[in-house]
Structures are given as structure tokens and as C-alpha cells.
Amino acid sequence: MIAMLTGQIAHKTPDHLILNVQGVGYRVMIPFSTYYELPEEGEITLHIHTNVRDDAIWLYGFRSRTEKTFFQLLITVSGIGPKLARDILSNIQPAQLAASLMQADLHKLSSIPGIGKKTAERLVLELREKVGKLDTGAEASADNIGRTLPSDTMLDDVTSALLNLGYKEAQVKKVLANIDAADGGTVELLLKQALKLLMK
């Protein structure tokens, strides 16, 4: 069972990366929150959850132990598989997720793509007590100020990532009309802005 990997980034996309560990390339699935924090290149360490299936072994990687903990809690809930758990963490930070669970905020939980009202209720029912025992400090994030139009290439990348997460094309187009590329905004920053707007 692989629990942690340290290696060089060989390739990365918003949903996975290839980590070169002493000449062996590991394909690791990641949430957006981890993608935001990755450098363009160099050595990194990821906390790994190994998901063994009959036909494959899937690795899910996280920059923080807190994210990994929440991922492992989410997949204990009936109907929540590893892919959906990763998508949930791509749309909401662990501290915000904890607050939503503790406050039984069904509206916010069910606004996450792939999570309907019944699933939101099940999340609260099964995880509220467990999450209450965890230390989930809020993680600060910087908002971009200004209004600079992003390039078409960046918009295409952000659109593709959001559609893959389950958002409708109409929602994505509406949100992309309001994001900015101040300070030479990167795809990561634009994704973060878009997700914040979608979660309002």
C-alpha cells in the first residue's frame, strides 16, 4: 500500500500528474486544490491514497494530510467513490466542507456537481460527528483584483476542466465572463476564481 510519494514532476494537468520517482512514473489523480499548490517543476511530496480495484490500482495524491483525511472520510459514505470524493475536494476546501457538514448546510453541499439533496443529507448524517473531532483550520486564499481578459487558450483549459467536473456549459460560460487574468493570471488562478463564483 503506497501512502506517500516523493519525486520530480514529469507532467501535470488539473486532474492528474505523472510523478517520476527514481525513474518510475506514477500517475496520480489530484484535486484542483492540490494542483493550485504544485510548482511548475521540481521535487514534491504527495500524501497518497491507494485505491485497489479488480482491474486497476489508482493513486490519489494530496499536498496536505487534511485533504487526504477528508478524502478517506468521503469514500466511506455510501454512494461516494474516489472520483466523486476528489471532485468534491476540487470544489470546496476541507475547512469549508467541515463547516458545511457541521452546520448541515444542505444548500451549499448540494450545489457541488454530483451531489444531490439526498447525497448531501447522507454526508451530513454519516460525517458530521466524525468531522467534529478533526482539527480543520481554515486555509487562507488570495483573491485576484482587477479585470484583465484571459487568453483564449486559458479559457479553453478552464472550460474543459470545469466541464469535466460536472458543471453545465451554460454555467461555465456565465462564470468565465466574470473572471479576470490580472497579474498575468495562470490557469490555476482562473480555475480558483471560477470555482469560487460557481460555489456562491
The pLDDT tens digits for 13-48 are 988 999 999 999 999 999 988 988 888 889 999 999
- CA proximity to 73, closest of 91, 56, 88, 59: 88
The model's confidence at residue 140, banded by pLDDT at 50, 70 and 90, is very low
Cα(53)–Cα(44) distance, integer angstroms: 26
Non-local (6+) Cβ contacts of 52 within 8 A are none
- Lowest-confidence region among 22-36, 88-102, 108-122, 133-147: 133-147
- Side-chain half-sphere CA neighbours of 98 within 13 A: 18
SS3 of residue 108 by DSSP: helix
The model's confidence at residue 200, banded by pLDDT at 50, 70 and 90, is low
- Taking the CB of residue 156, how many other CB atoms lie within 10 A of it? 12
What single DSSP character describes residue 88? H
- CA proximity to 61, closest of 95, 96, 37: 37
Q: Which residue has the cell 480555475?
A: 191
User: What residue spans define the domains of the chain?
Assistant: 4-62, 65-132, 152-198
User: Is residue 188 within 8 Å of 35, Cβ to Cβ?
Assistant: yes
- Asked whether the whole model's pTM tops 0.75, one would answer no
CA distances from 27 to 2, 10, 20, 110 (A): 13, 10, 9, 30
| Domain 4-62: CATH architecture, name and number where available | Beta Barrel (2.40)
Candidate CATH numbers 3.40.50.150, 3.30.1390.20, 1.10.150.20, 3.40.1380.20; the one for domain 65-132: 1.10.150.20
